[in-house]
Amino acid sequence: MVKHLTKETFHEAINQDKLVMVDFWAEWCGPCRMLGPVLDDIASTLADKVSVCKVNTDLEQELAVRYNISSIPCVIYFRNGEPLRASLGFKPKENFVKEIEELTAK
Amino acid sequence: MTQNTMIDNFDIAVIGSGPAGLAAAINLKIRNKRFILLGYPQLSHQVEVSVLIDNLLGFPNIKGSDLNKAWKNHLEAMDIRIVDDRVRQVYTNVFDEKHVVACRNGDYIVRSVIIAAGIIRNNLIPGESELLGQGGVSYCATCDGMFYKGKKVVIFGTTEDAVHEAEYLCEVASEVVFIASAKVKGTVSASNCTQMRGKPVKILSENGKFTAVEMFDGTQIEGAALFIIKDAAGPSYLVPGIEAENDSIHVDADMRTNIRGIFAAGDCTGKPWQLMRAMGQGQIAALNSVRYLDEENYWSGL
């Protein structure tokens, strides 16, 4: 299940020891909508490796500004509150899976 | 970007109306497949301006413009239409193995795509690829314009599409400077837009973010973002996730790319950039695209 975050729930959601993917998106953004089903798929098939969350940049402008978002979709990977890596634009599922594998390799 | 109409009455999308795309289209038509051919109705500009083609089998020293005419006649005879819509990007495997070909006027949901988009001939402006995305340079005003609401932006365009993108920016940004190359005929009438002719020679930045473009005469035009609207972007931008090297898409002997259901043909797959190679590849891609649709285990043999 993809979690929708607000500025109130953001801090707790990214402060996990588990890898968290946060997708910064907007309703008017075509590629963001295309990414939706891909992220839903990742949320259900890789739930043990990663937590998938979304932030609507129109509704949560403070969060968008805090992370310097100027091009969407922008997926930022977090662990224990720290941003590890950002991924810009639509990518096929395989590309995200590879990134997740790299970030969860021990 | 507004909600685009989703169109799902086609199984295959062919992107490009040069020799590869046209060869693919003809073969798909013969095999009775529901396909859409996206490209320029006036066909290949490169072919049009070729004065004499000396190595097309059966047609020694044919003029490029005569070849384009012959192709146009062939398409008409087979009732194949070229849909004059600009492809923005192809989103692969979005729903149940279907791909979305996102265009200016609609999103086409298809099972297979044949990329026959040719090669990009325009040169990048120094700084362009480094700043694309988070650096404040974008290829799509309707996609990223909203981030610059109330700010001043610069847009450089080499096609008529740029006029539409500039008009959109005028509604969102506080001020727009529209640099139009010589080919652009349209003008933007909005009061917050300054339109000028020219081409930026350099893109300036600070701390990885766009600050201004520099013109030939040294003048600098500042802005919060730079939108570059041109004819074509490389395959990696057109189809995110596709394997390509130096803008040549990797294909196997069946014209398959690394993405299931996606084929590529013609100049976009690399050298030599030749007509007969393009036509042959277009045909192979089409016939295998048909196999992909009709045979359940076709792709797994990769």
**Angle (nearest 5°) at CA B33 between B30 and B35:** 110
The proportion of chain B whose per-residue pLDDT surpasses 90, expressed as a percent, equals 79
A103 located within any domain: no
In-domain check, residue A105: no
Beta bridge partners, A50, equal A19
Q: Is B94:B100 a contact under the CB 8 Å cutoff?
A: yes
Residues B255, B288: contact at Cβ < 8 Å? yes
Q: Supply the DSSP string of chain A, one letter for each residue.
A: -PEEP-HHHHHHHH-SSSEEEEEEE-TT-HHHHHHHHHHHHHHHHSTTTEEEEEEETTT-HHHHHHTT--SSSEEEEEETTEEEEEEES---HHHHHHHHHHHH--
For residue B222, pLDDT over 50 is answered with yes
CB pairs under 8 A between A and B: 58
Interchain contact, A28 vs B1, CB within 8 Å: yes
Please, what's the largest Cα pairwise distance for chain A? 38
Residue B274 is classified by DSSP as -
- Of the candidates B71, B59, B73, B91, the residue with the CA atom closest to the CA atom of residue B20: B71
Q: Work out the number of other CB atoms within 10 angstroms of the CB of residue B183.
A: 11
* Active site (annotated) includes residue A74: no
B45-75 per-position pLDDT tens digit: 889 989 999 999 999 999 999 999 999 999 9
CB of A35 closer than 8 Å to CB of A90: yes
Q: Would you say the pTM of this structure is higher than 0.90?
A: no
Q: Please tell me which residue in A2, A26, A29, A97 is annotated as part of the active site.
A: A29
B contacts of A89 (beta carbons < 8 Å): 133, 240
According to DSSP, the residues that pair with A7 across neighbouring strands are none
Q: Which two tokens stand for residue B62?
A: 């044919």
Q: Which residue of A has its CA nearest to B225?
A: A70
- Candidate from B136, B143, B241 with C-beta closest to A92: B241
User: Is the Cα dihedral B80, B85, B86, B92 positive or negative?
Assistant: negative
Burial (CB < 10 A; 0-12, 13-18, 19+), residue B31, is middle
Residue B302, pLDDT score: 55
Q: Residue B300's pLDDT band (boundaries 50, 70, 90)?
A: confident
Which residues constitute the domain of residue A10? 3-98
Are B114 and B138 spatial neighbours (Cβ–Cβ below 8 Å)? no
pLDDT tens across B224-281, in order? Answer: 999 999 877 789 899 999 999 988 999 999 999 999 999 999 999 999 999 999 999 9
Do A30 and B241 lie within an 8 Å CB cutoff? no
Residue B105's CB: how many other CB atoms inside 10 A?
11
- Which residues is B245 bridged to in the sheet? B248
Tokens of B241: 């996730």
Q: Is residue A11 part of a domain?
A: yes
Within a 10 A sphere around the Cβ of B171, how many other Cβ atoms? Answer: 11
Q: What is the CATH number of the domain that holds A39?
A: 3.40.30.10
Residue at A78 is within a domain: yes
Most confident of B120-129, B159-168, B173-182: B173-182
**Band of the pLDDT at B122, cuts 50, 70, 90?**
low
Is it the case that residue B158 has pLDDT exceeding 50? yes
Q: What is the torsional sign of CA B186, B192, B198, B200?
A: negative
CA B170 to chain centre: 24
> What does pLDDT average to over chain A?
94
Length of chain A: 106
The reply to whether B5 touches chain A by the CB within 8 Å rule is: no
Of B102, B146, B241, the CB nearest to A95: B241
The answer to which of B6-10, B229-233, B292-296 has the lowest mean pLDDT is B229-233
Cβ neighbours of B134 in A, within 8 Å: 68, 70-71, 74, 86, 88
Minimal Cα–Cα distance from A65 to chain B, Å?
10
Is residue A54 in some structural domain? yes
How many domains is chain A partitioned into structurally? 1
Comparing alpha-carbon positions, the chain A residue that sits nearest to B95 is A37
Distance CA B157, CA B166 (A): 9
